[in-house]
Amino acid sequence: MSKISKLAFIEDGAVIEKNVEIGPFCFISSQATIGEGTTIAANTCIYGKTTIGKDNRIFSHAVIGSIPQDLKFNGEDVELIIGDNNTIREFTLFNPGTKGGGSKTIVGNHNLFMGYVHLGHDVIIGNHCILANAATLAGHVELGDYVVIGGMTPIHQFIHIGDYAMIGGASALAQDVPPFCMAEGNRAVLRGLNLTGLRRKMEREDINVLKSAYRDLFESGQPLKETASRLLEETSNHYVNDLCDFVLKTKRGIPFERKNLDDK
């Protein structure tokens, strides 16, 4: 049975599943769907066409689904889709998509969004990601699975961050970060592999193969995409294949310090 405060305002048409808790002074849009077991703390607003899955925890003063901060937005039919088992802390702001970006912002499962995190329009978030306090994602940003973004870090629009990547706190990221890598600084550049994260999930042999591939790609001074193509032909390791495939497909480039072969 749901536990809904008499002081919450829920518009007619909203779908509230079983065992949902909604605190006082919340607003729930007529187009919203709140999944089973989700809790919504006081003073939270759920706007527009927003679908929230099961067992999410949304803390006070979150603003979920308010219209995109995009001057081109003109009232089109757009939506925000949030999966299951996410933790969304205080004063977060999630925007739906825009017509130019596919009309959807999509959040996966088991993510942690700390206080003041902003997800801009048309963002896609994978699973098991952690965004620390005041991390801000501009429009059209895409995160893979197990991505960690440090606090006070802005991510430029149209950035793609691969699986298991980590972005240091107080960085400013303007280019794509490949899977398994760590970047930090303003502007952020690659600093190596995200070894702490990888050791939690991978065998040592796979990590060693990734170390070798990283050196070839980003420290050898050889042309980046030619090296990625060569490694794809030489290895059957699927982690290295994912890394090289990302490098070949990047549209904004990879932020690494290029070495001059003449200096060797």
Tell me which residue of 107, 117, 167 sits closest to 142, measured CA to CA. 107
Active site residue 122: yes
Which listed residue (122, 145, 176, 216) is catalytic? Answer: 122
Q: How many CB atoms lie within 10 A of CB 51?
A: 17
Which listed residue (35, 53, 84, 121) is catalytic? Answer: 121
- Between the CA atoms of 45, 48, 52 and 58, what dihedral angle is there, to the nearest 10 degrees? -10
Which listed residue (83, 101, 126, 139) is catalytic? Answer: 139
Q: How many CB atoms lie within 10 A of CB 186?
A: 13
Q: Is the preceding peptide bond at 187 cis, omega within 30 degrees of 0? A: yes
- Angle 86-155-153 (CA atoms, 0-180°, nearest 5)? 80
Active site residue 84: no
Q: Which sequence positions are flagged as catalytic?
A: 121-122, 139
